[in-house]
Amino acid sequence: MKPFLLVLIPLTEASLADVTAAFETRSSVPLDVLYAPDNAARSAAIESHGAHVRAVLTNGTTGLTADEIDRMPALEFVSALGAGYENIALDHARARGITLVNGAGTNDDCVADHAFALLLAAVRDVVQLDAACRAGIWRDALPLTPSVSGKRLGIVGLGNIGRKVARRAEGFGIEVGYHNRQPREGMPYRYFDSVPALAQWSDFLVVATPGGAATRHMIDAAVMQALGPQGYLVNVSRGSVVDTAALAAALEQGTLAGAALDVYEGEPQPPAALLHLKNVVLTPHVGGRSPEAIAASVRNFIANAVRHFAGEALLTPI
């Protein structure tokens, strides 16, 4: 029996075929692909074949638990398809000497595009205006919506995605500020040493920081109050970063003008507290998904895996 690559996330037929072909022809250690993209298949695959799994492909949301790692004694390589890896038991994997990689950089442009689309949709009220137009309601009966150009944009997390959001903002004549754990050298943007201070300065706040325990509810009621009743919040990072209950209260009470979210606490269920609100735009965690981005992520995974099994340097180690 050949060892296995266990795939825990949904892949398109084309992507799955590319992965399968790569491990048949390119890898120095041929692996059979074990496709388990839902919880039932995942449990069954680990129960039946865990002893023979040498590689796992997952993502930050789906993750990989310490218990699952323990049930795969031959496991030596774990990859997150995208940039996020917050639900992978990293310390446990490292203690086992397991190689860890992610898809950093493969979908940055896609996420940055989506972040700006969400910002425009929220500020210009595109969803509600579309519904009004379809209902035959003309502009004179509708409230004015703010301009986006010439405002101030705060970015929480000036990593690859945050920097690309900033460059898109420059095209709109928007002034950019940011908060990061440390100032980024060589950046032309204003640095703020706290998220509330950045929110106080900003008209719009885009959240692009990693998820995990360190950033849980970083965007809380105090940050939303600092952003203020004319402010707009966009989250394309992880749902855990924003306090959903505080956001619902701020939107209902008018202490925040609007929000747009691609990620949620409790995914894949959308947040019930927000569904009735007209001043929030919701998309189902698709910010990093496009044909181009998925193809790039799969290519990056294959290249990392081939390099690992050949004993070569990795492209995007965690």
Position 268 scores a pLDDT of: 87
Position 2 scores a pLDDT of: 85
Residue 34 pairs in a beta bridge with 6
Annotated catalytic residue: which of 285, 289, 299, 307?
285
Please tell me whether residues 134 and 234 are part of one structural domain: yes
What pTM was estimated for this model as a whole?
0.88
Position 41 scores a pLDDT of: 97
Please tell me whether residues 119 and 47 are part of one structural domain: no
Residue 315 belongs to some domain of the structure: no
Residue 34 belongs to some domain of the structure: yes
Please tell me whether residues 93 and 206 are part of one structural domain: no
The HSE-up count of residue 63 (CA atoms within 13 Å, CB side) is 13
Total number of domains constituting the chain: 2
Please tell me whether residues 20 and 136 are part of one structural domain: no
Please tell me whether residues 74 and 150 are part of one structural domain: no
Residue 316 belongs to some domain of the structure: no
Q: Which structural domain, as residue segments, surrounds residue 297?
A: 4-106+291-309
Position 183 scores a pLDDT of: 96
Residue 318 belongs to some domain of the structure: no
Alpha-carbon gap, residue 69 to 91, rounded angstroms: 11
Is 267 an active-site residue? Answer: yes
Is 285 an active-site residue? Answer: yes
Alpha-carbon gap, residue 117 to 260, rounded angstroms: 9
Residue 242 pairs in a beta bridge with 219
Please tell me whether residues 101 and 159 are part of one structural domain: no
Residue 89 belongs to some domain of the structure: yes
Please tell me whether residues 20 and 56 are part of one structural domain: yes
Per-residue pLDDT of the chain (318 residues; tens, 9 = 90+): 689 999 999 999 999 999 999 998 887 889 999 999 999 999 999 999 999 999 999 999 899 999 999 999 999 999 999 888 989 999 999 999 999 999 999 999 999 999 999 999 999 999 999 999 999 999 999 999 999 999 999 999 999 999 999 999 999 999 999 999 999 999 999 999 999 999 999 999 999 999 888 999 999 999 999 999 999 999 999 999 999 999 999 999 999 999 999 999 988 899 999 999 999 999 999 999 999 999 999 999 999 999 999 999 999 999
Distances from the Cα of 311 to the Cαs of 77, 98, 137, 210, 306, in angstroms? 12, 13, 64, 29, 9
Which residues lie closer than 8 Å to 5 by C-beta, 6 or more apart? 19, 23, 31, 32, 33, 34, 53, 54, 55, 56, 57, 305
Residue 64 belongs to some domain of the structure: yes
Please tell me whether residues 33 and 76 are part of one structural domain: yes
Alpha-carbon gap, residue 298 to 1, rounded angstroms: 25
Alpha-carbon gap, residue 40 to 36, rounded angstroms: 8
Annotated catalytic residue: which of 86, 238, 265, 308?
238
Please tell me whether residues 85 and 172 are part of one structural domain: no
Please tell me whether residues 74 and 194 are part of one structural domain: no
Please tell me whether residues 213 and 130 are part of one structural domain: yes
Annotated catalytic residue: which of 124, 184, 252, 267?
267
CATH code of the domain containing 44 = 3.40.50.720
Please tell me whether residues 186 and 266 are part of one structural domain: yes
